[in-house]
């Protein structure tokens, strides 16, 4: 088979599996409303910087929605993943607590959700050892998400932790037996890796036939509409690009950054993401923050130019995040509560991870 034919086959297969994932996600969405108790969701972030409004609209708001439907929600601050592609941890403590403050201020409720960190849950990390025996190095090297993350490091030698990070992520998902992971389509390969690990573990350690069912459920993807909020430089808003509007920024800093945001020279404001990405992004953010229609906002500004657009965008962001920012500031001013929340989350994660590891030991006959 020529390379071209192979490539076409590969991409049509992946188109097909993407469509399958989309239609499965629609069914799951319906079931989440009808039977929220059937589902357990795991999500998380790397504490590599401050969470921004791209995170809020692309991910956090959806976590809060799922939690409020009554779905058991686990939120991981993935501190070990910080060092997959950098030499140090940075101001990790501040970043983890800042993330916890953001989670709570945005509506994650510690009475309903478990917020925890990798480093505090040894039994989770221990799952990595049996799991690593279930994958091959060529599988890991082929993983498109690993490739993309590695390319983003600009020629840095690939660390063992970055190479194996889909397996670590499988441990994150499987230790708490989450059966649902909200992802964008670029993260489907990670989820597939977790499914493979779950399946192979049970094939190899055979609890399937014992009548007690598999140790691990095969987690499913909840595919979200890819939302791509751009930063002030016109590229994807990203912690590591310094182009973000942070959730916790104050109103003046927000105004200053939006004032400097890249736009174009056409005075007439339109919503045309394909041809005018920067202008349309500001219109879109304004729409998301105010719950209005982007076309309507663009028409209203008309010949008002980017000055008027930036004014509206700034007002909309500052209004949307005002109470979140106030709550966040209060939480950070009295960090004892944040510590309590994280310690309780870590304690619960340890309990669950120990129980899962005990099942893994039993399945592997490592009971001494
Ligand atoms: P880093 O620079 O460390 O890669 P980041 O700012 O790109 O950080 P990620 O941790 O890669 O953030 O993103 C976590 C999740 O947040 C993504 O999978 C996505 O769901 C959401 N997200 C991040 N950035 C955006 C964005 N600009 N627009 C929409 N969603 C986003
Ligand atoms: Mg990123």
Question: May I ask the CATH architecture of the domain 3-227+334-363?
Answer: 3-Layer(aba) Sandwich (3.40)
Q: Across the beta sheet with 220-223, what order do the strands follow? A: 113-117, 72-77, 40-45, 180-183, 220-223
pLDDT of residue 241: 87
In this predicted structure, what is the pLDDT of residue 7?
A: 47
Ligand 1 atom with minimal separation from the 52 CA: 6
Q: What is the 3-state secondary structure (H, E, C) of the chain?
A: CCHHHHHHHHHHHHHHHHHHHHHHHHHHHHHHHHCHHHCEEEEEECCCCCCEHHHHHHHHHHHHHHHHHCCEEEEEECHHHHHHCCCCCCCHHHHHHHHHHHHHHHCCCCCCEEEEEHHHCHHHHHCHHHHHCCCCHHHHHHCHHHHHHHHCCCCCCCCHHHHCHHHHHHHHHHHCCCCEEEECHHHHHHHHHHHHHHHHHHHHHCHHHHCCCCCCCCCEEEECCCCCCECCCCCECCHHHCCCCECCCCHHHHHHHHHHCCCCCCCCCCCCCCCCHHHHHHHHHHHHHHCCCHHHHHHHHHHHHHHHHHHHHHHHHHHHHHHHHHHHHHHHHCHHHHHHHHHHHHHHHHHHHHHHHHHHHHHCCCCC
- 48 Cα nearest atom in ligand 1: 3
CATH 1.10.287.110 matches 239-332: no
Ligand number with the minimum distance to the CA of 50: 1
User: How many angstroms is it from 126 CA to the middle of ligand 1?
Assistant: 27
Distances (CA, A) of 213 to 23, 178, 220: 27, 16, 18
Instruction: Report the nearest atom of ligand 1 relative to the CA of 152.
Output: 4
> Cα of 304 to ligand 2 centre, how many Å?
34
Q: Is 154 left (phi over 0), alpha (psi -120 to 50) or beta?
A: left
Q: Is the CB of 182 under 6 A from ligand 1?
A: no
- Say whether pLDDT at 5 is over 80: no
Pocket flag, ligand 1, residue 276 (CB < 6 Å): no
pLDDT-derived band of residue 15, with 50, 70 and 90 as boundaries?
A: confident
Q: Which atom of ligand 1 is nearest to the CA of 241?
A: 2
pLDDT value at position 227? 85
Give yes or no for residue 209 having a pLDDT over 60. no
On the question of pLDDT at 351 being above 90, the answer is: yes
Task: For residue 226, name the pLDDT band (cuts at 50, 70, 90).
Answer: confident
Q: In this structure, are residues 27 and 33 in contact, taking their beta carbons and an 8 Å threshold?
A: no
pLDDT of residue 154: 87
Q: Each residue of 266-294: pLDDT tens digit?
A: 999 999 999 999 999 999 999 999 999 99
> What is the number of other CB atoms lying within 10 angstroms of the CB of residue 58?
18
Separation of CA 237 and ligand 2 centre (Å): 9
pLDDT for residue 10: 52
Angle (CA) 47 22 34, round 5°: 85
pLDDT at residue 346 greater than cutoff 90: yes
- What pTM was computed for the model? 0.93
The reply to whether ligand 1 has any atom less than 6 angstroms from the CB of 240 is yes
Does the CB atom of residue 237 touch ligand 1 within 6 A? Answer: yes
Rounded to an integer, what distance in angstroms lies between the CA atom of residue 153 and that of residue 155? 6
Question: How far apart are the CA of 54 and the centre of ligand 1, in A?
Answer: 7
Average pLDDT over residues 5-20: 65
Percent of the chain residues past pLDDT 70, beyond the cut = 95
**Mean pLDDT value across residues 339-349:** 98
Dihedral (Cα; 98, 100, 106, 109), 10-degree rounding: -160
- Let me know if 359 is exposed, middle or buried by CB neighbors in 10 A (0-12, 13-18, 19+): middle
Is the pLDDT at 9 greater than 80? The verdict is: no
Domain map of the chain by residue range?
3-227+334-363, 239-332
Q: Positive or negative CA dihedral for 315, 104, 100, 31?
A: negative
In angstroms, what is the span from residue 242 Cα to ligand 2's centroid? Answer: 12
Of 217, 248, 243, 209, the C-alpha closest to 228 is: 243
Ligand 2 centroid from CA 238, angstroms = 6
**pLDDT score for 99:** 98
291-340 tens-digit pLDDT: 999 999 999 999 999 999 999 999 999 999 999 999 999 999 999 999 99
Task: Tell me the pLDDT tens digit for each residue of 31-54.
Answer: 999 999 999 999 999 999 999 999
Q: What integer is the mean pLDDT of 52-58?
A: 95
Q: What is the pLDDT of residues 108-163, one digit of tens each?
A: 999 999 999 999 999 999 999 999 999 999 999 999 989 988 998 888 999 999 99
Give the atom of ligand 1 at the shortest distance from the alpha carbon of 227.
29
Q: How far is the CA of 145 from the centre of ligand 1 (A)?
A: 13
Examine the pLDDT at 184 and tell me if it is beyond 90.
Answer: no
Determine if ligand 1 sits within 6 Å of the CB of residue 232: no
Residue with tokens 């925890």: 116
Please indicate whether the domains covering 3-227+334-363 and 239-332 agree at the CATH topology level: no
Greatest CA separation for the chain: 76
């Amino acid at each position: 088979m020529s390379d071209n034919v192979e490539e076409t086959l590969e991409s049509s297969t992946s188109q097909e599996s993407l469509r399958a994932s989309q239609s499965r996600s629609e069914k799951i969405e319906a079931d989440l409303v009808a039977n929220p108790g059937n589902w357990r969701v795991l999500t998380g972030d790397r504490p590599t910087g401050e969470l921004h409004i791209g995170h809020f609209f692309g991910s956090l708001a959806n976590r809060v929605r799922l939690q409020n439907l009554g779905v058991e929600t686990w939120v991981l601050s993935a501190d070990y993943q910080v060092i997959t592609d950098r030499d140090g941890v940075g101001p990790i403590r501040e970043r983890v607590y800042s993330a916890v403050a953001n989670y709570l201020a945005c509506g994650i409720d510690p009475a309903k959700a478990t917020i925890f960190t990798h480093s505090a849950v040894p039994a989770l990390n221990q799952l990595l050892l049996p799991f690593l025996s279930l994958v091959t190095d060529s599988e890991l090297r082929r993983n498109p998400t690993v490739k993309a993350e590695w390319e983003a490091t600009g020629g840095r030698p690939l660390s063992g932790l970055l190479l194996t990070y889909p397996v670590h992520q499988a441990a994150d998902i499987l230790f708490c037996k989450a059966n649902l992971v909200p992802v964008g389509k670029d993260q489907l390969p990670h989820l597939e890796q977790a499914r493979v690990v779950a399946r192979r573990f049970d094939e190899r350690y055979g609890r399937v036939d014992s009548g007690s069912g598999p140790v691990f459920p095969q987690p499913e993807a909840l595919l979200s509409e890819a939302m791509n909020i751009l930063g002030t430089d016109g590229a994807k808003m990203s912690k590591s690009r310094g182009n973000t509007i942070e959730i916790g920024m104050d109103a003046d800093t927000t105004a200053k950054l939006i004032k400097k945001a890249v736009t174009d020279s056409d005075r007439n404001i339109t919503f045309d993401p394909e041809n005018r990405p920067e202008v349309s992004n500001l219109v879109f953010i304004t729409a998301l923050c105010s719950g209005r229609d982007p076309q309507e906002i663009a028409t209203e500004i008309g010949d008002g130019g980017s000055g008027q657009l930036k004014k509206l965008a700034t007002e909309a962001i500052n209004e949307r995040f005002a109470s979140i920012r106030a709550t966040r500031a209060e939480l950070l001013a009295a960090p004892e509560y944040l510590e309590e929340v994280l310690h309780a989350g870590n304690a619960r994660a340890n309990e669950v991870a120990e129980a899962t590891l005990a099942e893994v030991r039993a399945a592997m006959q490592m009971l001494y």
